[in-house]
Amino acid sequence: MIKQIPLTEIKYVLLDMDGTLLDLYFDDYFWGHLVPEKYAEKHNMTFGHAKEHLYKTYKSHERTLNWCDIDFWSTELHLDIPALKEQIKHLIEVHPHVIDFLKMMKKHRKKIFLLTNAHFKTVKIKFAKTQIGHYFDDVLCSFNVGHPKEDIEFWQKAEKRLKFDKEHSLFIDDTEDVMKTAREFGIRYLLFKARASSKAEPKKTEEFLTIHDFRELM
């Protein structure tokens, strides 16, 4: 483990899914290319117009439960979002060294929790493709608690439900706003996952200790 994160002090490992454990390229391609393509076909418009319209629509639901609610988007866009995800599930990939890290945490008898804004239907598709589900002691979707991870209420409810001790918890995520809320809540050890997508430049943060690859934690 990197020096600032003492393994012996950590009893609970709290992990984000998309961008942190899994390559965000799948989601970027899905929402940035496939959905606009299908929307353009359905509404007889150009790909460019569809993308412009959709990005405005996406933006209006940021930091809300709708943002990751694929049932909401199916209704809103008149597209079968779960079926479209199934179509390109071959693009769902685990980031390098994630499995080794999870195995190491298991070996050291850490409790491992997945904390995700992703809809449980999305989690199911991704677990089926990657087989990472069995590494977690529990999985908490924002829909289970009625708040996205950007809200402090998510963390209050997560603590009650999962019974982790924030003084002995490590949280890893690729979204700075989520990290800030986790810090405000009092999670002691925080790591920002800079390389969210294998096809994009790493993200930067001035506020948090950063890793690009889980090999840095081995």
pLDDT digits (tens, 9 = 90+) for 89-121: 999 999 999 999 999 999 999 999 999 999 999
CA 52 to chain centre: 24
Please tell me the predicted confidence (pLDDT) of residue 1: 61
Residue pointed to by tokens 């412009």:
52
- CA gap 35, 12 in Å, rounded: 37
Mean pLDDT for 123-140 is 97
Average pLDDT of the residues of the chain: 95
3-state secondary structure the chain: CCCCCCHHHCCEEEECCECCCECCHHHHHHHHHHHHHHHHHHHCCCHHHHHHHHHHHHHHCCCCHHHHCHHHHHHHHCCCHHHHHHHCHHHCCECCCHHHHHHHHHHCCCEEEEEECCCHHHHHHHHHHHCCHHHCCEEEEHHHHCCCCCCHHHHHHHHHHHCCCHHHEEEEECCHHHHHHHHHHCCCEEEEECCCCCCCCCCCCCCCCEECCHHHHC
**Is residue 87 scored above 70 in pLDDT?**
yes
Joined tokens for residue 115: 């904390």
Residue ranges of the chain assigned to CATH 3.40.50.1000: 7-24+93-217
Please tell me the predicted confidence (pLDDT) of residue 91: 97
**Is residue 9 scored above 90 in pLDDT?**
yes
pLDDT digits (tens, 9 = 90+) for 10-56: 999 999 999 999 999 999 999 999 999 999 999 999 999 999 999 99
Please tell me the predicted confidence (pLDDT) of residue 7: 87
CATH number for the region 7-24+93-217 comes to 3.40.50.1000
Please tell me the predicted confidence (pLDDT) of residue 101: 96
Confidence grade of residue 5 (pLDDT, cut at 50, 70, 90): confident
